[in-house]
Structure 1
Amino acid sequence: MADIMFAGIGGQGVLTAGKILIQIAAENGKNVSWTSEYSAEMRGGIALCRVVVSDEEIGSPYPDTLDVLVCMNEDAYNTYIDQAADGAKIIINKSLFSDREYPANVEVFGVDAMGISADLNNTRGANLVMMGAMIAATQMMDKQQFSDTLRDYFDHKGIPSEKNVQCFEAGYEKAGKIG
């Protein structure tokens, strides 16, 4: 089981990333739960979602501690790092982080989500870069299986999938442990 939080600000695709993850996990035989919180602002306010992915029945959609924390910005990290369990995987968007020290009881992985998505001409794909980094860090699902299901997800919605899948795969390949 993995208790996951995607956190950032409105407009960064935090809620969408969580929804994509639960759909792909469910399509691949996992039990899932998704809850969200966000402020009244459409863009710029706090946005987060909690996702639980499990092979077994899920007892609560509100975990006490997080196994995975995906931070789209530094404020999200500062706000939610205290909820990370010992040994948790923390994935940060290096594009919006300053140099800093990280706690020794967690593993921190970073990726330049905004730079990568811009290089791929898909600036709205930073959340998918982060998802790729998360899958690489956690190995919770097979990369190719996730990539194929992600392609199906966008094709089913009538959205061209190639640039979105490229963002995911680049995030997977370029994520690196930094702490």
Structure 2
Amino acid sequence: MEKQFVFAGFGGQGILTTGLIIAHIGAMQDKEVTWIPSYGAEMRGGTANCTVKISDDLIGSPFVKKIDILIAMNQPSIDKFLPQMSDNGLILVNSSIIKEVPQKGNIKVVEIPAAEVCEKISYARGTNICIIGALAACTDLFDKACYEEGIRHYFAKKPQFHENNLAAFRAGYEYVAKG
């Protein structure tokens, strides 16, 4: 198994952290992982993205050629990365911001209004973690417990955020799981 991800959005949306958390979870599951960040000159509000590869085998190149899973937090991310999607790929869309995703081949699009979902649990900062919950609900990459353990472990030095982050994860998971 090898999955190639792109996480993309505006700086300040937790894009790089989201990719790093997924890479971290993969490493915790004894997978081979790569994580490469990329961001514009102006951090908050500029463009940000990162690529992640997770594989059972050694990874020959850290660069993503065909995206299996795109997590898009804004419209420019869709516009930029849609052409690089693999034929049977998956796009997770923050529909709080993105209003239209053009159709391309057999790509599955899962929309989640992450800002509204997090507003209901009173944790506006958790939209990126909510998206991780959506990812967990619509893929079989790892089981739900692995994601929760990975989130706790990643934020181990910030225990004050554990409950809010896990609530955001679970809210995203439930939103997608209920369909």
- Give the TM interval when normalised to the shorter protein: over 0.9
Report % sequence identity.
Answer: 37
**Following TM superposition, by how much is the alpha carbon of 1:38 offset from its aligned partner in structure 2, in angstroms?**
0.5
Q: Please tell me whether the aligned partners of residues 23 and 33 of structure 2 are also in contact (alpha carbons under 8 angstroms).
A: yes
Distance 2:135 2:93 in 1: 9
Mark the CA change 1:176 to 1:45 in structure 2 (over 3 Å): closer, same or farther.
farther
Please give the root-mean-square deviation of Cα atoms over the aligned residues, in Å: 1.8
Normalising by structure 1, report the TM-score. Answer: 0.92
Distance 1:177 1:92 in 2: 17
Distance 2:80 2:155 in 1: 32
Normalising by structure 2, report the TM-score. Answer: 0.92
Distance 2:36 2:175 in 1: 29
Distance 2:3 2:17 in 1: 18
Distance 1:19 1:136 in 2: 19
How many residues align? The count is: 178
Counterpart in the other structure of 2:13: 12
Which region of structure 1 is more displaced relative to structure 2, 114-123 or 99-108?
99-108
- AA matched with 2:4: D
Q: Which structure 1 residue ranges, 5 or more long, are not aligned?
A: none
Residues 67-126 of structure 1: CA deviation (Å, up to 9, x unaligned):
000000112111110010000011000101224542232011111111111221211110
Q: Please tell me whether the aligned partners of residues 110 and 176 of structure 1 are also in contact (alpha carbons under 8 angstroms).
A: no
**Equivalent residues in 2 for 1:93-132 (5 A)?**
93-99=94-100, 101-132=102-133
Q: Please tell me whether the aligned partners of residues 39 and 45 of structure 1 are also in contact (alpha carbons under 8 angstroms).
A: yes
**Following TM superposition, by how much is the alpha carbon of 1:17 offset from its aligned partner in structure 2, in angstroms?**
0.4
